[in-house]
Amino acid sequence: MATNPFDISGKVAIVTGGAMGIGFGIVRRFVESGARVLLVDRDEKAAKEALARLPEGPGKAEMLTADVSEEASGERMVARCIECFDRVDVLVNNAGIFPMSPVMQMSPELLDRVYQVNIRGLMLTSKAVAGRMIQQRQGGSIVNLSSVNALRPNMVGLAAYDASKAAVAMFTKSLALELAPHRIRVNSIAPGGIDTEGNAQVLKDVMTPEQAEAFRENYLRTKVPLGRYGNPDDIAKAALFLASSASDYMTGSSLLVDGGLMLM
């Protein structure tokens, strides 16, 4: 029988920000596909609840509480992953924050925090995990969560976030070039609007429930050709593709998964 190029069973993956939203969708899809996963999140309670919501198998998951922006976190993730699963083949840099603030009201602290999580965290985690992959001498795959907002702004108030995600897209390409000699592939996913806890909170922070409903309805009708929000599994399937040997000849690429948003 021909081997299935999308098969990730037996692979070991680290997923940051895995307790909810897109990250949890990726953890669940990977566990359902037979992978062993280290779920990393700064929110310990949410991470424990996430583990309890996972299917029994065929893969499995363990967790680590860590804030990706802290310097020691990358090495802690690698150590915990080796302790649980002996190796690491895949890293998904998903943890990210998107606080709203128009530039004219933006504090330098907000800008710093967005960059600390979305870029510094991604650098620290990638450096530590790629170091281990290089030692293992069996290549690997790093998948970074960028955004359609790396390509163009979608609403006022996300300038810090938009810039950080454009940085993620370019960081991905530079790292892909650097790690190619080690057969470590580095790609990014640019999601459109995905229904997640974090996304719902952004609307709650700046709108009444009625305004949020009207915003969502108008957004889907005028901006998204496929007419629906994405769900975390839409992104998880793209992550599975990039983690698997189906994407063996891809590195430095960005996959747009946006329901056609960028066509409008």
Ligand X SMILES: NC(=O)c1ccc[n+]([C@@H]2O[C@H](COP(=O)([O-])OP(=O)(O)OC[C@H]3O[C@@H](n4cnc5c(N)ncnc54)[C@H](O)[C@@H]3O)[C@@H](O)[C@H]2O)c1
Per-residue x/- track, 162-191, ligand X (CB under 6 A): -----------------------------x
CB 95 within 8 A of CB 143: no
Q: Which member of 34, 46, 82, 115 binds ligand X (CB under 6 A)?
A: 46
Number of residues that bind ligand X (CB under 6 A): 30
* 125 touches ligand X (CB under 6 A): no
Q: Which of 161, 219, 229, 249 is catalytic?
A: 161
Spatial distance between the Cα atoms of 19 and 37, rounded to a whole number of angstroms: 12
* 126 touches ligand X (CB under 6 A): no
Part in contact with ligand X (CB under 6 A); list of ranges 6-14, 51-59, 195-203, 246-254: 195-203
* 197 touches ligand X (CB under 6 A): yes
* 154 touches ligand X (CB under 6 A): no
* 74 touches ligand X (CB under 6 A): no
86 token code pair: 């002996």
Spatial distance between the Cα atoms of 256 and 254, rounded to a whole number of angstroms: 6
Minimum Å distance from CB 134 to ligand X? 24
* 21 touches ligand X (CB under 6 A): yes
The number of residues in the chain equals 264
The nearer residue to ligand X, 151 or 184, going by C-beta atoms, is 151
The nearer residue to ligand X, 199 or 253, going by C-beta atoms, is 199
Q: Which member of 129, 193, 224, 236 binds ligand X (CB under 6 A)?
A: 193
Give the DSSP letter string of the chain: ----TT--TT-EEEEETTTSHHHHHHHHHHHHTT-EEEEEES-HHHHHHHHHHS-S-SSEEEEEE--TTSTTHHHHHHHHHHHHHS---EEEE---------GGG--HHHHHHHHIIIIIHHHHHHHHHHHHHHHHTS-EEEEEE--GGGTS--STT-HHHHHHHHHHHHHHHHHHHHHGGGTEEEEEEEE-SB--HHHHHHHHHHS-HHHHHHHHHHHHHHH-TT-S-B-HHHHHHHHHHHHSGGGTT--S-EEEESTTGGG-
Interactions with ligand X, residue window 133-152 (CB under 6 A) = 145, 147
Is 161 among the catalytic positions?
A: yes
* 207 touches ligand X (CB under 6 A): no
Per-residue x/- track, 79-118, ligand X (CB under 6 A): ---------------xxxxx------------------x-
* 259 touches ligand X (CB under 6 A): no
CB 14 within 8 A of CB 81: yes
The nearer residue to ligand X, 33 or 118, going by C-beta atoms, is 118
Which residues contact ligand X by CB under 6 A? Answer: 16-17, 19-23, 41-43, 46, 67-69, 94-98, 117, 121, 145, 147, 191, 193-194, 196-199
